[in-house]
Structure 1
Amino acid sequence: EERERVDKELAKIRAAFDKPSKDLKTHAQRKYMWKIMYMYILGYSVDIGHIQCVDLIRSQKFAEKQVGYVAVSLLLIEHTEMLRLCIQTIKNDLASPNEVFQSLALTCIANVGGVEFAEALTSDVQRLLVSGTSLAFVRKKAALCLLRLLRQYPDNLPPAELAPDIIRLAEQKNIGVVTSVVSLLTGLATYDTATYTNVVPLVVRLLATLIVDRQCNKEYIYYRTPDPWLQIKLLRLLQFFPPPLSDKITLDKLQNILDTILGKTEVTQSVNKNHADHAILFEAMNVIIHLNLHDLDILHERAVNKLLHFISVKESNIRYLGLDTMSRLAKLPKTHRTIKRHLRTIQFSLDDSDISIRKRALDLLYSICDSSNVEEILEHLLKYLSKAEYQMREDMVLKIAILAEKFATNMEWYINIVLQLLTIAGDFVAEDVWHRVIQIVTNDESLQKYAAEMVFKNLQNPPVHESLLKTGGYILGEFGHLLDTDGKQQFEVLHKHFQSSTIVTKALLLSTYMKFANLYEDLAPTIVTIFQSFRTSVDTELQQRAIEYDAMASYQNQSLISGVWDAMPDFPERESNLMKIVRKKEGAGVGRDVQSDTDNDTVTTKGVDGNKEEAEAEEEAEEGEPKPEAKNTTTRRSDEGIGYNIQSNANKDSTSSKPTPGGQSQQQQQHQQSDILDLFGMGGDDFGVLAVTTPNPSTKSNKIKELKQERKLWRKLFMLHSALLYEDSMLQIGIKSQIESETGVMRVILFYGNKSNSPIEAVSMDVKKVEGVELEISPTEPFDIDAQQQMQQKCRVSLLQPPAAVPSALISFTCKGEQYRIEAQFPAIVTKFFSAYPIEASQFRQRWEQVPKEEKQVIRITGDSVSSSDLKKILSDSLSIGLIEGIDKNPDNSVGCSRLTFATKKQGKNITFPVLLRVEFNEPKQALRVTARTPHEAATKAVIQALQCIFEN
């Protein structure tokens, strides 16, 4: 019935809209538009009324314009072409002296958003925000509208010269304006912290007025707390800037403010007041953590004592927030002594009825654990593990295993802890845990007998979990001969679980049995019988092992077989995989994307780590870790003792082929390059390859170790906004760039991640000066990175003229007393400053003839091969080249146009060059012939050089 009514109404409206517009009264038009919007909200498809939206916003009557803007916000979001028709009208309304029209336009921009609105209207919104004639309610809307555009299109940051005007708006008497402007400043500080550093004294003054002086308009007082929303926003804004160490007055005021918050916040009977006050308190705690992380030693003792009080109250929300904040506060080593005095109180939280509180208590115990309290903490965690929820057990097991290894008083105690884990929560013990035990035992001869005794003892006490059986099978096979117990008892304690085990475990146990047959002659007949029973197994892995082991057991030259089944060599010393897993879970690795937190009116920088390419790189690095189950082929199993990496039909996905710990790497064959001169069938013409030469390494001193950037990183580094600059076992450097395409400026954030367990000291970066490129680096002074932590460095790159070369960076640091220096390419190449500029084919041909400076170059694509479609995607998406169809008849070739913008200005406007490109592609030979034309010879050469850097790596 509703559907019929909607169809009838739509037909009526459609008939009315088909009449000449002069016959349709404005009242009826507004009425029909409201009906259309209502039907759209109900979920019905509406295909009329779009052009009427555009007509209504052009009206000079409020009632009509209001309906039009609401309809545009609701109906035209998915119709880009129609939205373009609205841009000029919105511009006119923003410039109108009518404040109501301005408000309607701002509301529409904020609701619709989008790149086109951001590019076309940001400057008008900025002008309205800082205009001296704008009313307060217009300023509020303008600030929030600009924040919305900034989140959607960060490249349109306000120019630096506008920053003082925006900061001054936070001094307005109207608190609503101040609140909106502070939200905007928080968003701006995320992308351009250095430009807005001067806001810190003003923020401190505002906080002092609200918190210390308690001055505020009555309408903004909430349960006797002056404007808690603004207080929280101001405290959050402070966390984007370093402490004002040079301004003692501001620093003293800030300390007084934080001290006041800590001293006056109490739990009251009013729930609403509690919520407001504690929101301010916990944000103040974050500021204290931020200041202490910047080596400002203030108030951390008081903060800990305050939080210890909160984790003891009855209110669950406050207990949760107290534990969560204390977990972050525990990252400051100087707080550990105070927190550890209340260890029992924290342990008591593990028994809380709320699982979220139990999780936070677990995180806090993990943060404060060290060699002085590890035994007490792990004893409590092991007791709790048996009754913990299933969703907590895996995380608990992982953290217990790491703490046991990291702070072990002796390694026998560590073995006991892991065996308890395998017994209590075997289903939740990751393979990396028992792999790590095997590595440690194999590499420590003094542990081998003790480990064998303990696994033999645990295997006798049911229930025996599969992980314990695999651990026992490996250790008894390798070190069982050290026990006083005879081989028959060891065999029996393993074999009684054989039939109920999985195929993977059976395969490992068959290898153990072969070791037993080689060591204990009396067991050989029994074990050979087992091998023969699996010669016809339906599982090919078990069958193959059984046949081979049966042949080995009856082989005449037993001395040869004994050599084959000798003890495994030591595993290489590498970082524990457990630490990598924890870093992934906690999100503490390097390189996460910049994400906006729309609920908190802020944009938090979390690093470049979430980046897909970097995640793949980290996974590849982890795959290189030798695990105690590395077995690949039959011919290599004899060198490996117990065959490890069991890849059966039943479990192909659960395991993967790994190199053996002692295996030799194969030599890579050199790739011979074919004659580049005839790639395009043109014979020996004059085109040659202009090689991008790697700078010669400087003379090595005895003290500095030279490290080189891998060339395979170049393509992603020069094409993507987020990529890896450098990575090894100690340090990972991620990079994230944001291009201001209209100003010729690139803002770069470098993320230095310490992957080692030792601090990295005196990190500094020096970028070689290149003519045409201006770089501003902050901070310029060397800095330190704690173990498993991350630091940021910001850089502003301005393109003043076509660059003569690609800048190179020298990054120096010290780790474990050794000095290192990395030589790396810095991604300030000319293509980063391209913006797509598609034109008609006829215009392109005309401009091609007009632009005189031409360069041709043949480029051989090295590294990963690309297809024709891949190349077009790289040119259009990654290099911002506007491709033009219908010019080149060869579908593999590409023709396009871009606009190159420089930071240099002429007559108040940034200088821009057109860049015309023709890229001929020979896919079988992976070669390009690039023809570039620009008005300037140096610019043309810079473009060719940039493309070589991208494809020749």
Structure 2
Amino acid sequence: MDRRRTGMNPVSTSGSNTIKGLQLFIADLRTTQQSEEQERRIQSELVKIQQHFETISRKPGSNDKLGGYQRKKYIAKLAYIYITSHTTKLNSLMFGLDQIIELLRSNVFSEKFLAYMTLQLFYVHPSVVSKIGEDVAYQVVNDLAGNNDDHVALALNFVGVVGKLDNQLAQNEDVVNQVFQILRSPTSSHYLKKKAALAFLMLLKSNIHILVDDHQTKQSWIQRILSLLDDTHDYRLMLPVLPLVEYIAKYVDPSSCIRLLPQLTQILYNCTVVGTSPDGSFPAEFRFANVPNPWIIIRIVSLLSVLIVSPVEAATTSSQLIHSSNIDPETLGKLRICVTRAIELGTKPSNDPMERIVLNSILFSLINFASKLEPSQDAVSNSGTALCSLLSSGEINIRYLTLDSLVKLCSLSGKPAIDTVRFHNLDTIFRLLSSERDASIIRKVVDLLYTFTDAGNVKTIVEKLFNHISGAKHPVEPSIKSDIAVKISILTEKYATDTNWFVLVSLKLLSMTTSATLNDDEIWQRLCQIVVNNQQLQKLTCEQLLEYLFDSRSSEALVKTGAFLIGEYAHMILDNFSMGDLFNLFAEKYFIVSNMTRAMILTTMLKFYRIEPRIETVVIKFFQLELNSLDIELQTRSFEYLNLVQFSKISGNDELLDAILTPMPHFNTKSNPLLKRLGSLPPSSGNPTVVDLIGASDYDTDSNSNTPMTPVSSGRPPPPPLPRSTKPARTGSRSALTSSSTANGASTPTIERDLGTEHYLQQKLSPNWEDGFVRMFSHKKGILYTSPLLRVLYSISQPLSDQPFQLRFKLTFVNHTEWDIHGISTEIIAAKTQDNPEYILQNILPPTNTSIASHKRTEQTFDVVIRKPFPVDRSPLVNIFFSCGATANSLTVKTAVGVTSTLMVNVQNAAPLTVTQFVQGWKALGETFGKESEYSVEGVNLTRRKPGSTFETGSNLSTIAQTMTRMGFGLVDQTSVPNTIFAAGVVHTKTKGNFDYLLKIKYTEETSQLGVTCKTTAPGSLSQYVVECMKYALTN
């Protein structure tokens, strides 16, 4: 009776479950004075426990001797020993694993709880998992499938904790299915659903194939997971589900999550704007520090940041994500209002420290997200001002997060953010650089300065960075010094407007690399590349180098630079320095540098000899010094160079020496190798500097001075930037995003598969979808689909009379049940989204309401722009998702969009043809295009899909004529040819233009069959596409 009561209500009996033996054992260990005495106490207890367990294993019939309480006590002692020994005694505890499994099988909550807790500790070790993994998984499945919510919660908690430690657990279909069943079941409590969401997330992280391998499973399971967010006021369940949805959006299927955008936006708006307004009502139980649902806000913003990409990210991320220009105006407006409200809340005074932390967290998350929404300049400026006001905060975390947000804002939002920071807050940032002691903040300050440096402030910023390296008030970490050195090198190269200043700064930077932390080969190598590629810098740099090298304290980086550049361009400075002076200079440096630099100096000496053969004697003696060197590289170079000099002298022929020491060709490196050291920072961008222009004028006479360049070698100029659409289509569909960019000419050849087509082909249409599909061919309004829960109506119009190729679809969703429908959302899918698609989707607006009361309705509109002819079976699909009666539902239907969809205005605008005109046109098309533009089909049966709706005898021809008229065909008024209909019209497309066509339909009364022939002004498949549309409209 006590065990049953414990399982049902563990809290009420917590006092009776005290393990006195464990308490005494812990007290004994704590009172021991020496570690040896504690070790003896632990060993004696382990021996005692092991003897008890062995006795039980030898006597299977004596289970009652070791009851649940005793087993629980011994297992608890093993767990305590494991913890106090810092996991070092695992091998001594392995004997207890079988008894842990026995405890796990118990129906008593406290015993099962202790077993799961101990296993969570031990599962870190693969040896434990390999020994009892199968037994544990079996019991986990049993607990998950049981009716005891307490046991189910323990099993879910175990899966959530060890899901990534035991890969076999994530590959166990029974475990995965049971966890998902709890998550989706309408009868599961919120408490279990929350645990199931986190457990399923852990399983998915361990084995992503759960939702990847089987498309049908993926589509069904993701739909049910997303439906958990349908109740926009169920914040308890929302919090654990959002991380799961974010993981799915990031790694599994972002396209399926995009439809949540309006729904997530509304939740964010309710929490951020409505919940914080003075007259707004929000449940007190969901407030923390006077802020409604701060955790929900940050989680939603994190998910939205995954689904929405900024203009900068759009070029490199998956086409399945959505751009701000593709978000409907209402949703985009609400998101921007949320950002504005976050700025207001973040800058208001607050005396409550916890409230201040919460508001700042919301401010940082929303401002980092704001750059994805293409905000106005004022909005960006306000964001920058709000963040800069936090730079003076006394909390290190706030200062760090502020700087991190400022770096992201300046990188993604560009000039408005940069101007706000550098024009009004540059002094504050400099003070922070000089006074801050925290290394992580210093690094962020340097990143921020790098982000908004340009030609106007580069000298000031570089000077401040130099001061920080050489004269900071507090010791500077070596890694930060190296990071600053790299940024100084990049900034001076990019934004130098004066050649002399560029050389001085570069050499000053190299002169400071006496410390090993700044001895960075990439910096001096990059300077050498720039000098080689820019003739006007060569003499100036060599002269400035010598001033540093004559100083006995010159750094090794300067010696390397000098050995390379002076050896290459010594002939340019012989007017001021003799070859003997140069030889003596490098001979002195030779003995105080590393072997790698010595090898470079040996090559420099050979070049000196080539320029001035009179130093032959000292050069030969110099090479002879290293003939017996312990370093193989120095020995080899000395030997080879000595032979070259002697051969040249004996033969009197310098051709071999000339061939070996040809002038250094220009480097053709197309980017600065230091840029890869920037991490997540974007490369600096700006106008071409003096270094760029010198390189262009000297070596690239055809290059465009307006094209930003790194100073690279001669060669063809870089290609112009790809054209970009200035007015991207506003849609809410992943498919529409890529399609609209292609339609505006911004697509480029790609070897990637068309993810839109793949997604389109994977859809499974709902039963009886054809009824509404066929109806759309000849009726502008009607019923698209009817299910037991939802009816879908459609209406087709042409919003612009001068653009008949653009069609507007309005879908009306009618709830004809007695229950409310929640979370209704749609996904419009185009058949093709890349490589010049036949049509594109535009202006996709979400349903006006996400919930539909009983017998009420909501609407949605979207546009289809037909760019060129295509087969009607590739018409757009509509996925409809909703929840009703605690169950998730989905429908997939196809809209009838074909080449005949643009015929609806032709009857009004075009004069009807006469028989004579039709015959002449028919003959002309045959003579011009032959059979290439003609398509015929015979034996088309005049039938209807539904019983009782057949064509009536004697009225077939008139019924066909009425159907064709509704479709937009222009009929020829004639009686000379019996049982035949002549029709004409024009197919309108945006890209390919308009195409005339003539259509002849011959009806045979005896067989009730049709013969259809079509001729068009376009060779190819257009005539076939027209006939296919006719067949759907007349025979189904």
* TM-score for the superposition, normalised by structure 1: 0.60
Partner of 1:106: 156
Q: What is the aligned partner in structure 2 of residue 33 from structure 1?
A: 75
Which amino acid in structure 1 is aligned with residue 284 of structure 2? Answer: K
Alignment pair present for 1:299 and 2:379:
yes
CA distance, structure 2, for counterparts of residue 107 and residue 91 of structure 1? 13
Computing the radius of gyration over CA atoms, which structure comes out larger, 1 or 2? 2
- TM-superposed CA distance for 1:393, in Å, is 1.5
Change (3 A) 1:75 1:518: closer
Q: Flag the 1:487–1:186 CA change in 2: closer, same or farther, 3 A.
A: same
> Who is 1:224 aligned against?
290
Q: Distance in 2 between matches of 1:810 and 1:195?
A: 19
Change beyond 3 A, Cα 1:61–1:477: closer
Q: Is 1:278 the equivalent of 2:360?
A: yes
Q: Give the 3 Å change call, closer, same or farther, for CA 34–535 of structure 1 in structure 2.
A: closer
Corresponding residue of 1:840: none
Report the CA distance between 1:308 and its aligned residue.
1.8
1:259 and 2:311 correspond: no
Distance 1:148 1:28 in 2: 34
Identify which of 351, 355, 375 aligns with 2:459.
375
CA distance in 1, matches of 2:114, 2:395: 48
| In 2: Cα distance, 1:515 partner to 1:127 partner | 78
CA distance in 1, matches of 2:338, 2:681: 32
- Note the residue ranges of structure 1 that are not aligned, 5 or more in a row: 590-728, 730-755, 764-774, 802-808, 813-953
Partner SS for 1:111: helix
What is the aligned partner in structure 2 of residue 397 from structure 1? Answer: 485
What residue identity is the alignment partner of 2:169? F
CA shift, 1:378, in A, is 1.7
Q: Match of 2:219, as an amino acid?
A: A
Instruction: Tell me whether 1:193 sits opposite 2:254 in the alignment.
Output: yes
Q: Say whether residues 1:470 and 2:560 are aligned partners.
A: yes
State whether residues 232 and 263 of structure 2, in contact with CA within 8 Å, keep that contact through their aligned partners in structure 1.
no
1:717-796 equivalences in 2 (<5 Å): 779-782=738-741
User: Within 2, Cα distance between the matches of 1:121 and 1:190?
Assistant: 24
| 1:602 aligned partner | none
Quick one: structure 1 residues 511 and 366, their matched pair in 2 at CA, closer, same or farther if it must change by over 3 Å? same
Moved more, 105-114 or 530-539: 530-539
Alignment of 1:16-415 (within 5 A): 16-19=56-59, 20-24=61-65, 25-42=67-84, 43=87, 44=89, 45-75=92-122, 78-80=128-130, 82-113=132-163, 114-118=166-170, 119-157=173-211, 159-170=218-229, 171=231, 173-191=233-251, 192-214=253-275, 215-242=281-308, 243=324, 245-266=326-347, 268-292=350-374, 299-332=379-412, 333-334=414-415, 335-341=417-423, 342-351=425-434, 352-387=436-471, 389=476, 390-415=478-503
Counterpart CA distance in 2 for 1:793 and 1:368 is 38
Gaps of 5+ in 2: 1-39, 212-216, 276-280, 309-323, 684-709, 711-717, 726-733, 763-832, 837-1036
Kept in 1, the 8 Å contact 2:407–2:448? The answer is: yes
Q: CA deviation at 1:373?
A: 2.3
* Deviations, residues 219-242 of structure 1 (Å, cap 9, x unaligned): 443322223222211221211222
Higher relative contact order (CA 8 A, sep 6+): 2
> What whole-Å deviation, never above 9, does each CA across 1:820-871 have from its counterpart, x for those lacking one?
xxxxxxxxxxxxxxxxxxxxxxxxxxxxxxxxxxxxxxxxxxxxxxxxxxxx
Note the C-alpha offset of 1:200.
2.1
Task: Please provide the CA RMSD for this pair.
Answer: 3.6
Q: Does 1:461 find its partner at 2:551?
A: yes
2:467 and 2:295 map into 1 onto residues whose CA distance is 43
Counterparts of 1:487 and 1:384, CA distance in 2: 39
- Give the aligned residue type for 1:310: L
More helix by share: 2
Amino acid of the residue matched to residue 228 of structure 1? P
- Amino acid in structure 2 at the alignment position of 1:123: N
Q: Name whichever of 431-440 and 522-531 sits farther off.
A: 522-531
Q: Which residue of 1 is the match for residue 533 of structure 2? A: 443
Q: In structure 2, what is the Cα distance between the partners aligned to 1:420 and 1:496? A: 21
Measured at CA, do residues 51 and 781 of structure 1 come closer, stay the same or move farther in structure 2, by a change above 3 Å? farther
Residue range with higher mean Cα deviation, 237-246 or 222-231: 237-246
Kept in 1: contact 2:735–2:756 (CA 8 A): yes
The residue that corresponds to 2:608 in the other structure is: 516
- The one-character-per-residue Cα deviations of 1:456-497 (angstroms, maximum 9, x if unpaired) are 222223411111112112222222222222222222333332
Query: Relative to structure 1, is the Cα distance of residues 810 and 167 closer, same or farther in structure 2, using a 3 angstrom cutoff?
Result: closer
Native 8 Å contact 2:623 2:638 kept in 1: yes
State how far apart, in whole Å, the 2-side matches of 1:517 and 1:529 are. Answer: 12
Measure, in 2, the Cα distance between the counterparts of 1:563 and 1:32: 87
**Structure 1 pair 373/462, CA: closer, same or farther in 2 (3 Å)?**
same
Q: How does 1:524-923 map to 2 (within 5 A)?
A: 524-554=616-646, 555-556=649-650, 557-560=652-655, 563-564=658-659, 566-583=661-678, 585-586=679-680, 779-782=738-741
Q: How far did residue 246 of structure 1 move?
A: 4.1
1:360 offset after TM fit, Å? 0.6
Is contact 2:568–2:664 with CA below 8 Å preserved after alignment? no
Report the Cα offset of residue 247 of structure 1. 3.0
Measure the CA separation in 2 of the matches of 1:353 and 1:69. Answer: 46
- Partners of 1:312 and 1:319 within 8 A in 2: yes
Distance in 2, Cα, partners of 1:76 & 1:529: 70
The answer to whether the 8 A contact 1:54-1:72 is kept is: no
For 1:224, the aligned partner's letter is: N
Post-superposition offset of 1:256: 1.4
Residues in 2 aligned to 1:76 and 1:394: alpha-carbon distance in whole angstroms = 42
Offset, 1:810 = 9.6
Could you give the per-residue CA deviations for residues 747-796 of structure 1, whole angstroms, max 9, x where no partner exists? Answer: xxxxxxxxx99855679xxxxxxxxxxx999845548999xxxx999678
- Aligned partner of 2:504 in structure 1 is 416
- 1: distance between equivalents of 2:330 and 2:78? 60
Task: Report the CA distance between 1:420 and its aligned residue.
Answer: 0.8
The DSSP-based 3-state class of the residue aligned with 1:525 is: helix
Mark the CA change 1:16 to 1:447 in structure 2 (over 3 Å): closer, same or farther: same
One-letter code aligned to 1:419: L
How far, CA to CA, are the matches of 1:760 and 1:52 in structure 2? Answer: 68
Partner of 2:667: helix, strand, or coil?
A: coil
Q: 1:785 to 1:322 in 2, by over 3 A?
A: farther
Distance 2:294 2:394 in 1: 24
* Amino acid in structure 2 at the alignment position of 1:476: I
Contact 1:779 / 1:793 at 8 angstroms: preserved in 2?
A: no
Shift of 1:212: 1.8
Partners of 1:515 and 1:565 within 8 A in 2 = no
Identity of aligned residues (%): 26
User: What CA distance in whole angstroms lies between the structure 2 residues aligned with 1:392 and 1:542?
Assistant: 34
Distance 1:495 1:268, change over 3 A: farther
Distance 1:98 1:541 in 2: 76
In structure 2, do the counterparts of structure 1 residues 73 and 481 end up closer, same or farther at CA, with 3 Å as the change threshold?
Answer: closer
Q: Secondary structure at the match of 2:93?
A: coil
- CA 1:91/1:561 → structure 2, altered by over 3 Å: closer, same or farther? closer
The CA distance in 2 between the partners of 1:131 and 1:564, in whole Å, is 81
Q: Give the conservation status (yes or no) of the 8 Å contact 1:531–1:546.
A: yes
Structure 1 residues 162, 459: closer, same or farther in 2, change over 3 A?
A: same
| 1:479 corresponds to 2:569 | yes
Q: Distance in 1 between matches of 2:359 and 2:452?
A: 28
Secondary structure of the structure 2 residue equivalent to 1:198:
helix
Counterpart code for 2:304:
L
Q: Is the 8 A contact 1:778 1:793 kept in 2?
A: no
Aligned length: 623
Give the TM-score, by structure 2 length: 0.55
